[in-house]
Amino acid sequence: MERMKERNLQVLKIVAAAFILAVICTCSAVSAANLNVDSEAEGGYTTIQAAVDAAKAGDTIFVSPGTYVENLKIDKQVRIWSDSRNPDNTIVKAADPAESTVEITTERVTFSGFGVEDSKKAGILLTGVNNCYINNNRARNSEYGILLQEAGNNNINGNIITLNEIGIRLEGSNSNTIQDNLVAYNYGFGISLEESRKNIIFNNYFKNAENIEENTVNADNTWQSTLSTKSNLVRGPYIGGNFWADLEGTGYSETCVDGNSNGICDVSYEVTGGGSDNSPLYPKVPNAVTSLESKLDAEAYEQGLADREGAGNETGTPVEEQTEENETAGEGNETNETEAPEENGAPGPGLGFTVLAAGAAYILKRRR
């Protein structure tokens, strides 16, 4: 009899704990909120940083079009989206150019749909974080467009990275995915990897002074995905490697041979610093490259070069743009936008109530 009472008491404790867990999880799921930012609104959030400071983990921040002069410090698991999904009309400029314009220091952050500009450090900096989603941004006029430091398993997807000293830089960062980006008209390297391994880099458009930094161990990274039937960045029929162009129009993808007309160069591209892109893209569809170029600004790049030469600037100094972006530069950017991956949510209430029912059944059985 005493043993039966002890067992029943243990079951009741388990049921109670499961019930409390279910209530907590339900409350947590309900508590996620949407916050809105408008630089001209009265009584609301007029800066993105104010909304980040007020947000809780799991919240989503929507930002109205405008220019926000601030240095963002994102230290909470939040999603930040521009309302328009257009990085040409929702812009974050560094208030202090000595600091990164946007710095992310926590995991599972989504940052999508912004122009990010004017830092002597990084436009977007991810430091010591995992599982962040950086999508559909235009990062320009900074030392580094996007910089990852000791960061892993992040997705850098569908961004335009241009007019920086270095487009994308990875330092001690492993297992990241870099795909579907336009990395073009940067004054130094398109991409630079230092002590970074197991990153997968595919379906990007590279066209820079130098596409890849030479003094890196690029063989430890993968420069193509598994060949799959899906339209690629230059509208070919297969997702594979990257499109390798140069400023003279004589890049590998621009001059390679595609004997079987599958939109993939017949011979692999040997990556500077080691490694190879085994499925480099070929411009099979007429005007596909022209369409990509319409989102960029070659004139601003040429003006930047002229300004550097005239002012005697040393390499590495960010250059102020002297010309406006083409009005059509952002058209079609919405196609880069993909839904952010789901964050790991708290367990739902189903498990708790299942345990509750099982416990009750057990007690009834024992009493019989």
Residue 327 falls inside a structural domain = yes
User: What region does 180 belong to: left with phi over 0, alpha with psi -120 to 50, or beta?
Assistant: left
pLDDT by residue (tens digit) across 301-345?
999 999 988 887 554 445 444 434 444 444 444 445 444 444 433
Q: Give the Cα separation of 271 and 141 in Å (integer).
A: 26
Structural domain for 125, as ranges: 59-336
pLDDT by residue (tens digit) across 227-265?
999 999 999 999 999 999 999 999 999 999 999 999 999
- Cβ distance 117 to 94 under 8 Å? yes
Average pLDDT of the chain to the nearest whole number? 84
pLDDT for res 241:
98
Token pair in block for residue 207: 């066209």
Residue 103 falls inside a structural domain = yes
| CATH code of the domain covering residue 145 | 2.160.20
Residue 239 falls inside a structural domain = yes
pLDDT for res 3:
56
pLDDT at 19 over 70: no
pLDDT for res 359:
41
Q: Residue 15: which residues within 8 A CB-CB, separation 6 or more?
A: 355, 356, 359, 360
Residue 10 falls inside a structural domain = no
pLDDT for res 214:
79
Q: Give the Cα separation of 267 and 281 in Å (integer).
A: 11
Strands (E), 224-279: 228-229, 238-239, 243-244, 269-270, 276-277
Residue 196 falls inside a structural domain = yes
Residue 35 pairs with which residues in a beta bridge? 61
pLDDT at 13 over 70: no
Give residue 88's identity as a one-letter amino acid code: D
Residue 165: which pLDDT band, with cuts at 50, 70 and 90? very high
pTM: 0.79
Q: Give the Cα separation of 330 and 320 in Å (integer).
A: 20
Residue 221 falls inside a structural domain = yes
Residue 348 falls inside a structural domain = no
Residue 189 falls inside a structural domain = yes
SS3 244: strand
Mean pLDDT, range 270-279, rounded to an integer:
92
Percent of the chain whose predicted confidence (pLDDT) is above 70:
76
Number of domains in the chain: 1
pLDDT at 132 over 80: yes
Please state the φ and ψ torsions of residue 154, each to the nearest 5 degrees: -100, 155
- Cβ distance 344 to 26 under 8 Å? no
